[in-house]
Structure 1
Amino acid sequence: MKKIITVIGSYNHDMVFQTPYFPKPGETITARSFEMFSGGKGANQAVAASRLGGDVFFITKVGNDEFGSTSKEKFSKDSIRTNYILQDTSLPSGTAIIMVNDEGQNCIVITPGANDNLLPRDIDACCLAIEKANFVLIQLEIPYRTVEHALELSHNMKKKIILNPAPTVPLEDHVYQKLHLITPNQTEASLLTGIEVENEQSASMAADVFLKKGVQNVIITLGEKGAYFKNSEEQFLVPIQEVEVKDTTGAGDIFNGALVVALSEGKNWRQAVEFANLASSIGVSRLGAQSSAPYRNEISM
C-alpha cells in the first residue's frame, strides 16, 4: 500500500505574462504572450506529488469564484484526494500575476484571497487527512498561525513533517524542533540563518544552523548548482541536469513534491534528491507552474 502524503497550503490562479525583460518603474512594455494556469505553492506541490505517483490529500481553501468552483474537478483529474479542499463563501481565490523574461526568470505579485482565511479551525476539521498521512508537506503561503497549528497537530500525531519555508518569514525555535526536513532555497536559507549561501561550503554552514535548532534533515536548493543535503550522518551535493530554461516558476514546488514522493517510496536521501532534481529540471524547461509538473513516466529512475 502507498504511503499517504498530505499537502497543506495555498491555491492561486496564475496569470502569466511572457515579457522580453522586467519593466522599470513607470515603464509600459508589451508581453509576448499571456496564459492562465492554476498555481499556488501548496497546489503546485500537491499536483507534482500526485503526477509522480504519490497518494495525495490536499488541504486548502479556494475562493467564491469560478476558479474555486472548478478546482476540485481539476485536482481530481490529477488523482488528488479532494475531500479537504474548502471553499470560502465571500473571498475570491488567491491570484498571482507572474512575469517571465527571456532568461526564464520570474517576477511575481500575489494577492492571497481565500488563502488568508485558511484558519486553525479548518485544519482541525481536516485532521483525518493528517491522521492518515505518513508525510505532511507544508509551505508558508497561508497564515503563519495556521502553519503553527498544523505543525503542532502533525507533530503530536508523530508524522514526518517537511517544511518548505517559502515565502520566508522568521521561524521560532519550536517550529524547527518539529521538522523531519526543511527545504529552503539559497535565498531563504540565507534569510533564516544569517549566512550568505552561495555554494556548497556556505550551504553546509547554513545547514548546521538548522540542525542545531533541532531540524533532523536539511536540503538547500542552489539553483543551477543543484541541491545540498545534510544531516547528522552524511552530507552531499547533487548536481542538476542542464536544460534550456523557459520558466523557473514552480521549480521549487516540483522539487518538493517529487522529493516527498521519493521518500514515501523508501528511497534513500541521495536517491530522493536525484529524483527531485530530475523532476525540477523538466519543470523549468516548460511554461507555467502546475502545467510544467512532469509525470512519472518522464523520469527514468
Structure 2
Amino acid sequence: MSTPRSKIVVLGSINMDLVAVAPSLPTPGETVMGSDFATLPGGKGANQAVAAARLGADVHMVGRVGDDVFGPMLIENLEANGVDVSDVMTTPGVSSGIAVILLDDERQNYIVGIYGANMECDDVQVEAVSRALEGADALLLQMEIPLDVSLEAVSIARRMGVRVIYDPAPPSEIPLSCYEAFDIIAPNQSEAEVLCGMTVEDVGSAYEAASILRDRGTRVALIKLGEQGVVYSADQGAGHVPAFEVDAIDTVAAGDGFAGALAVALAEGQPLEHALRFASAAGALIVTKRGAQDAMPDRAEVDRLLDSQ
C-alpha cells in the first residue's frame, strides 16, 4: 500500500530572478564586465513550493503576481512543477516581484528585492490559506509579503493544528508575542544576528542564538550555517547536523529548498534530526546548480546523496 502524499501549503512571494554573474562586485561608480546572465523563476515562497513538490508532496501555493510579462511565466513554471496555483492571483496595475541577484566568483549571492505584487497580499490570501489548510501537514511562510498577512495565516494554522515553519527572510522585527505560534523558525546566520541582536559566526554562537529564539516560545529553533551545517534547539534537546560536502557554484535558494524539504520530511513522520539531514542534503544539492527553482532536486537525487555520505 502506497504512503499518502503529504500536503504542504505555502503562503509567500513569487518573483522573477534576474541573475548576473561577474568576477567581483563593482565598487561605487565602477562598471565590471559580467560573464553570464539569466532570467529565472524565483521568490522564496515559490522556491519552497517547487522544492516540496519535487520531493513528492502535494503543494498549494498562495500568493500574487503582476499583470506584466513575468506573471504568466511564473504561474506556468509553478504548474509545470506540479504546484497547485488555483490561489495565485494576478494583480492588475502592479508589476510582478523582481529579485536582482549578483553572483561573484566566490559564488556568494547579493540580492535586491523589489516585491511588487507580493506586497499586495491581503485578506484575500488569508482566506485562501484558511481553505487550503484543510487536511494540510504544514504551512510554510517567509517575509517577502506583508508581515500582518503572514501572522494572520499563522494564527489560523495554529487553530487548525497545522505545523508552522517560518523562514524569517529577509529579516525584520517580529513581535515577541508571535514566536510561540511558530512550530519551527529557521533563520540563517545573518538573519539570526538581526533577530537575536548578537554575532553568529560558528556552531557555538549558533547554539546561543537558537536558545534565545527558544526562550521566546518557538518550539524548534534552527540556525542555518551554510558550510558549517545546521544547529537546532528543541524540547528533545539541542544538536548540530554537519553539512554535506559538495562543490558549490550558486548559493541562491539553498535555504528555500531546505525549508521545503524539511516540511516534507516532517510531514512524512521523520524524526527531527533525520529530517534536518534530509533537508541539508536537498540544500547541498541546490548549490551545485545554477538558479533557484531549476536547481531544486528530486527525491532520487536526495536519497543518493544521503546514501553516499
Contact 2:62 2:128 in 1 (8 A): no
Once residues 118 and 36 of structure 1 are traced to their aligned partners in structure 2, the CA distance between those partners, rounded to angstroms, is: 24
2:127 maps to 124
- 2:42 aligned with 1:42: no
Q: Secondary structure at the match of 2:131?
A: helix
Gaps of 5+ in 1: none
In structure 2, give the amino acid aligned to 1:102.
D
Letter in 1 for 2:64: K
Instruction: Indicate whether 1:183 and 2:162 are aligned.
Output: no
Query: Is the Cα–Cα contact under 8 Å of residues 216 and 231 in structure 1 kept in the other structure?
Result: yes
Distance 2:285 2:263 in 1: 17
Residue correspondence of structure 1 range 158-237 to structure 2 within 5 A: 158-237=161-240
Partner amino acid, structure 2, of 1:241: F
Q: Check the 8 A contact 1:120/1:150 in 2, yes or no.
A: no
Equivalences, count: 301
Q: Is the 8 A contact 1:246 1:284 kept in 2?
A: yes
Whether 2:292 is the aligned partner of 1:289: answer yes
- Matches of 1:297 and 1:125 in 2, distance apart? 32
Q: Distance in 1 between matches of 2:94 and 2:32?
A: 31
CA deviation after TM superposition for structure 1 residue 74, in Å: 1.5
**Cα distance in 2, alignment partners of residues 88 and 139 from structure 1:** 20
Return the alpha-carbon distance in structure 1 between the equivalents of residues 103 and 66 of structure 2: 26
Secondary structure at 1:82 match in 2: strand
Q: Structure 1, residues 101-158: CA drift from partner, whole Å, max 9, x if none?
A: 1111011111111001011332214421123312101000001111121112212222
- Counterpart among 94, 98, 104 of residue 91 in structure 1: 94
Show the counterpart of 2:274: 271
What is the match of residue 55 of structure 1?
58
With the length of structure 1 as denominator, give the TM-score of the two structures: 0.97
1:72, CA displacement in angstroms?
A: 2.7
Q: Calculate percent identity across the aligned residue pairs.
A: 38
Instruction: Write the distance in 2 (CA, Å) between the matches of 1:174 and 1:227.
Output: 25
Q: Which amino acid aligns with 2:136?
A: A
* Structure 2 segments unaligned to the other structure (5+ residues): none
Residue matched to 2:27: 24
2:150 equivalent to 1:147: yes
1:234-253 aligned within 5 A: 234-253=237-256
Question: Where do 4+ consecutive residues of structure 1 move more than 2 Å?
Answer: 70-73
1:72 partner letter: I
1:287 deviation in Å?
Answer: 0.8
